Amino acid sequence: MAKITLIMPAYNAEAWLAESIRSVLEQSFRDFTLLAVDDGSTDQTPAILDALAAEDPRVRPIHAVNGGPAKARNLALEQLDADTEYVMFLDSDDHLLPDALEYALQGAAQGAELTIFGFTIEELGGGTRDYWEPAALLDRETLGAALGQLYKANLLNQVWGKLFAARLLRENTVRFPDYRWGEDRLFVFTCLEHCERVCVLPECKYRYVMHEGDSLITRYYDKKFAVCLETDGRMQELCRRFGVKDDADMRYMFLKSVFSCLTTLFSPTCPLRYGEKRDEVRRILSNGQLQKRSRRAAGGLPTRVLAWVLRTGNVTLTMFCFRLLAWLGKAAPGLFMKIKHRK
């Protein structure tokens, strides 16, 4: 029997933490440890973790000073048991279907060092949206042909919904960069660099749950554009490594990340004054990598129009368009989600 360690960072998650952990404890596969990192919470999160640990010894709380999810996950990775064979990540407000671990191990049984399975977003209005790709077993010769579609299908952006071989993480000292956005996909990209075999499983066994008060627009983060550039650079390197000739899907995903970066300037979480926002937009538009990658934009009319706006270098036009997009996220969330998660 394989031994799995699940890693869950938790910050002020008292409202949903117990339910999330119950979805782990009720797994059909039983041989696991849950490392739940209390990331300096100020609510009842620490007490809930300690109470659940008292009920089930497979729950192991780690109490840490607040440092963000990347540091919390890295802390847990440093504390893996020596007999851990596989690692899975889970957010503290999401759920695993009861057979998720058992299902993911089907990929491990085929020799995969990384198994990717489908996930479902539970939207605020009660609807659901599934993300998955057909079953495939990919080696270093065939991964390149599938890389763009996996990326465009939003299956490489998150660290959850995946099973990682612990040996892969140990031997290559894979850790999360200390960012507050985009660190998941950089972690996944690092794993892909070292993988000999990747398994894709189609069924959606992970439930990403949106909550009241959640915004469809991510929070403002002052390093977000720098992370966009780093992520795109890393993806271009993966394309070279795996012989990808046409990287249209990768350019599309890069542009989507830049669109997100610009939209967050008009989020209530952005502290910048109007003049500072103009300066930031001007800095982004003048970037050579962005101007080069925005040519021949793929992904449909909305993407091509916004890419053209970026290529104009016009700060006022760009601010108008992305302020409008931010407004759309509030006024028509269903349409915004459709645009945001378009494949």
pLDDT of residue 74: 98
- Report yes or no: 70 and 178 within 8 Å, Cβ to Cβ: yes
**Statement to judge: residues 116 and 194 lie in one domain:** yes
Which has the minimum average pLDDT: 121-125, 127-131, 256-260? 121-125
- Report yes or no: 258 and 287 within 8 Å, Cβ to Cβ: no
> Crossing angle, helix 17-25 and helix 45-55, to 10 degrees?
20
Q: What is the mean pLDDT of residues 92-103?
A: 98
- Report yes or no: 31 and 16 within 8 Å, Cβ to Cβ: no
pLDDT of residue 298: 84
pLDDT tier, 300 (very low <50, low <70, confident <90, very high otherwise): confident
For the full predicted model, state whether its pTM sits above 0.85. yes
Distance separating alpha carbons of residues 100 and 90, to the nearest angstrom: 12
Domains in the chain, number: 2
Q: Which range marks the domain in which residue 61 is found?
A: 4-209
**Statement to judge: residues 93 and 117 lie in one domain:** yes
CA dihedral 158, 163, 169, 172 (to 10 degrees): -80
**Statement to judge: residues 190 and 241 lie in one domain:** no
- Report yes or no: 95 and 27 within 8 Å, Cβ to Cβ: no
pLDDT tier, 41 (very low <50, low <70, confident <90, very high otherwise): very high
Whether 288 is covered by a domain: the verdict is: yes
Give the chain's mean pLDDT: 94
CA distances 88 to 15, 95, 116, 291, Å, are: 23, 13, 11, 37
pLDDT of residue 216: 54
CA dihedral 113, 193, 147, 302 (to 10 degrees): 130
Q: Considering 177, 209, 241, which residue would you say is the last residue of a domain?
A: 209
